[in-house]
Amino acid sequence: MKKLISVLLFLFIYSAVSHAEDNFCLDNEGYLYPLIDSAKCQSQKDIKISKKEFFHIIDFEKGLRKVKLEDYRVNFDEIEQSKSNEQKEQKLTLADVKKIKKESIEKIKLYKKGEERKRIQEQKKQELLAKREERKRIQEQKKQEILAKREERKRIQEQKRQELLVKKAEKKKIQEQKRQELLVKKAEKKKIQEQKRQELLVKKAEKKRIEEEKRKQLLAEIQAKKDDEIFFNEITKGNETTELNENLKIVFFNKNIVKNNLLPELKSEDNPLDFQRIDNLEKEDFKKLVRANSNLILVIPKDYEIFSNNVSQNQMTSRVVTGIRQIPNPDYRRLEMEIRDTEQKAMMAKRESEMYEYKLQNQQATGYDWLDLLGAFANTGASISYHNKYRDAQNKLTDLINEYASTPMYLDQDVLSPYNYDVVNVKSEKKAHYNVIQYKNKIFYNKNLSFGEENNFNIAYNIQPQDKRYAELVKKYDTMDNVRSWENKKMASITIDNFLIKLENTEEREFSGLKDVYSVLDFAVDEKKSIWKKKFNKKKSKVASLTNSSSYEIKDERFESVVVVKTGSGLGTGFYVSDDEILTNYHVIEDALSISIIDQNKKRSSAVVIKKDLKRDLALLKTNLKGKPVSFYSGQLKQGEWVEALGHPKGRKFSLTKGSISAIRNWRSTYDASGSGEVLFIQTDAAINKGNSGGPLFYKNHVVGVNTQKMVDTDIEGLNFAVHFSEVQNFLNN
């Protein structure tokens, strides 16, 4: 067994020596080292050389060896031929080994010096950076302390100023309150007296109104019969010279109404019926049409309405970033472990390198050249190999430490909290309304047709920008712009066939007389005064009227000029300043998708803004309904005079409140979005609440202001404001 082990050991040693004799490496600095148990050099930059190349360059200076190696490889044949047989068969001697040993020890020392110098430079660099950071931190700390002192001083000054203002305001409020209490007492006394007087006037007016209504009804019936006879006599005369068309003729009067461009087209391409479009229709044109056609349908656009109502509202839940918490950084822990592991590997490699270096320096001669050669080669190769491992470990350790220094110990993690946002289901409708006058068998009929489209939108409100799914949610829901775009899109066309089918299934109403036909067409009634007109044509009596919906209440006739201004978000008040123009507050219709107006007879129409003034908080609307314009006051107002506010407080439509003029003062409007200065207001204690905005403030039968705002506080009453009539007239005239 011992013999077998000896043989194996001999073969291993012989193999290692043979490999070492045949393979060497040349590094970048010119040092040579043997390859014992590896097929590759320790660095990719090192050059693997053969034994012949080794013997050729070993005697040259280290700086020349690389050049000589390249020359040898280029001129190999010539150099080998010039050598003697002994040189060709040259073997590695102990002297060669000692030379390599000496160079290896020298190389290791150079490595150590370079690394120590690099370590000292890096240490100095880190110390300098640390000093700079500390100096910067101290400067920033001082700066923050100075800013904090300034802010504290500023806060104390502001607090004192606010306390002083509060004291002044409290004193002023007490004085104003006492003054208002005195005014209220005076106003209440005057109010009771005025109320009694008004009740007496109302009773007299009601009696007179009933008598006047009976007289007008009788006059209207007599005159209607007479007008109809005159009209049909004219038609009969015209038929003598005009060829009568007995087939159905449809005439579409393209009347210019609000939002006329959005009305659906009436298509006649697929229908052979006689169809005609006209842009103008005067009274004589109408008479000619009636003379020429015994079966006539006249289509007149009446109104175009847009409704957008909130059908339902649901709360949806999502999550929003409300804070940040710190969690351990896994990379920080990983780097700590890698640094400890690399330090341990570097220490072990350094220990092994120093051990083999010690063996190399203190190697004793054994008396056997081949064994000394093997030992020198083994110790040299191992020392260099472990030293390179130590150097690689140190480089890796430096990189890890740099990465560790820039890696935070903790990572910021978003704290997500649930919150609710609202999703409103908006149902939008578009309706085109038409008045249809049908003439057949010498009788006029009236039909009201409506065509509509509808769409549903889901609009989200209060989605927080900090929501992690903000972009996804915004894309998921509709916006108010989508609603506006749909509302301002022209309605789909209607074919003549569909129009006639709907017309056939619509209830008709026979006109009571020609006067009703002319009323629909906005024609003036022919003025041929009869004996009845001469007898009864007196000035119209301005008395309160009794509405059909309220048989127990005498309505103030001034409500004939007042309308409800309705938008998708609420309602306000408006009043006619011309036949088809309505004045209201700008804040009533601000950002409205659609505007509708409703009069006291529940007639409804759409409206559009044609003029606005943000400073005065006024807006002028145009509508398709006709109304009675108000009369504005001219002159100077007296403090203490009784005024009345007409409007719809809290949705209580067509309400009236009374009070007195408290003062006339310049004041900045609460709703002034432009911040462009003060406006002249009438201050009154007549109750003005939400819904009154935009309504008229009357002094007797004349408008003196536009009700616009109320000062609200827990201990404030009777501070209401209306835009002065002079400001209103400036707005309307400019």
Find the mean pLDDT for residues 142-169: 85
**Which one is predicted more confidently, 16 or 652?**
652
Rounded to whole angstroms, how far apart are CA atoms 433 and 451? 7
Find the mean pLDDT for residues 606-612: 92
Residue 629 in tokens = 């314009």
Rounded to whole angstroms, how far apart are CA atoms 69 and 426? 89
For residue 642, name the pLDDT band (cuts at 50, 70, 90): very high
**Which one is predicted more confidently, 297 or 551?**
297
What digits encode the pLDDT tens for the residues 395-414?
888 888 888 888 888 888 88
Q: Comparing 18-32, 178-192, 247-261, 445-459, which segment has the lowest mean pLDDT? A: 18-32
Nearest to 352 by CA among 389, 298, 312: 389
For residue 53, name the pLDDT band (cuts at 50, 70, 90): confident
Rounded to whole angstroms, how far apart are CA atoms 64 and 46? 15
**Which one is predicted more confidently, 447 or 354?**
447
What digits encode the pLDDT tens for the residues 463-497?
988 888 888 999 999 988 898 889 889 999 998 88
The per-residue pLDDT for 531 is 42
The distance between the two most distant Cα atoms of the chain, rounded to a whole number of Å, is 163
Task: Give 135's contacts (C-beta < 8 A, 6+ positions apart).
Answer: none
Could you tell me how many helices (H) and strands (E) the chain has, helices first? 16, 23
Q: List the beta bridge partners of residue 431.
A: 305, 452
Rounded to whole angstroms, how far apart are CA atoms 258 and 281? 18
Q: Is the pLDDT of residue 111 over 70?
A: no
| Per-range mean pLDDT, top range of 352-366, 519-533, 656-670, 714-728 | 656-670
Find the mean pLDDT for residues 364-370: 63
Rounded to whole angstroms, how far apart are CA atoms 377 and 372? 9
Could you tell me the end-to-end alpha-carbon distance of the chain, in angstroms, rounded to an integer?
126
What digits encode the pLDDT tens for the residues 194-219?
888 888 888 888 888 888 877 777 77
The per-residue pLDDT for 560 is 94
The per-residue pLDDT for 576 is 97
What digits encode the pLDDT tens for the residues 664-692?
998 877 666 566 678 999 999 998 888 99
CB 627 within 8 A of CB 601: no
DSSP secondary structure of 425-474: EEEEEEEEEEEEEEEETTEEEEEEEEEEEEEEEEEEE---TTBTTHHHHH
Q: Classify each residue of 397-407 as buried b or exposed e, where b means 16 or more C-beta atoms within 10 Å of its C-beta.
A: beebbeebeeb
The per-residue pLDDT for 268 is 72
Rounded to whole angstroms, how far apart are CA atoms 187 and 181? 10
Nearest to 372 by CA among 75, 6, 17: 17
Rounded to whole angstroms, how far apart are CA atoms 398 and 170? 71
Q: Is the pLDDT of residue 61 over 50?
A: yes
Find the mean pLDDT for residues 382-393: 80
CA angle 682, 684, 689 (to 5 degrees): 105
The per-residue pLDDT for 369 is 58
Q: Is 570 left (phi over 0), alpha (psi -120 to 50) or beta?
A: left
Torsion from C-alpha of 437, 440, 445, 450, nearest 10 degrees: -50
SS3 of 476-492: HCECHHHHHHHHCCCCC
Q: Is the pLDDT of residue 178 over 80?
A: yes
CA angle 103, 107, 108 (to 5 degrees): 120
Q: Comparing 76-90, 324-338, 415-429, 574-588, which segment has the lowest mean pLDDT? A: 76-90
The per-residue pLDDT for 621 is 96
Q: Comparing 209-218, 254-263, 366-375, 434-443, which segment has the lowest mean pLDDT? A: 366-375
Burial of 270 (0-12, 13-18, 19+ CB in 10 A): exposed
What digits encode the pLDDT tens for the residues 317-347?
999 888 788 889 899 889 989 999 998 998 9
Residue 102 in tokens = 């000496």
Question: Which pairs from 729-732 meet CB under 8 Å and 24+ separation?
Answer: 729/632, 731/611, 731/613, 731/616, 731/618, 731/620, 732/577, 732/583, 732/620
Provide the whole-model pTM: 0.56
Find the mean pLDDT for residues 147-163: 84
**Which one is predicted more confidently, 17 or 144?**
144
- Angstrom CA distances, 317 to 322, 421, 475, 478, stand at 15, 6, 16, 18
Give Rg (Cα) of the chain. Answer: 52
Q: Is the pLDDT of residue 236 over 60?
A: no
DSSP secondary structure of 497-542: HHHHHHHHTS--EE-SSHHHHHHHTTPPPP----HHHHHH--PPP-
The per-residue pLDDT for 4 is 43
Nearest to 43 by CA among 57, 31, 28: 28
**What number of residues does the chain have?**
734
| Beta-sheet strands, E only, within 164-240 | none
The pLDDT mean for the chain works out to 81
Rounded to whole angstroms, how far apart are CA atoms 313 and 424? 4
For residue 725, name the pLDDT band (cuts at 50, 70, 90): very high
- At how many degrees (to 10) do helices 369-405 and 330-361 cross? 160
What digits encode the pLDDT tens for the residues 242-286?
578 888 899 999 888 888 889 998 887 665 678 888 989 888 888
Q: Is the pLDDT of residue 593 over 80?
A: no
Find the mean pLDDT for residues 447-465: 91
The per-residue pLDDT for 629 is 96
Q: What percent of the chain has pLDDT over 70?
A: 82
CA angle 305, 308, 313 (to 5 degrees): 165
What digits encode the pLDDT tens for the residues 524-577?
765 544 444 444 444 443 433 334 444 456 678 999 999 999 987 789 999 999
Residue 439 in tokens = 């003439």
Q: What percent of the chain has pLDDT over 90?
A: 25
| Per-range mean pLDDT, top range of 140-154, 501-515, 634-648 | 634-648
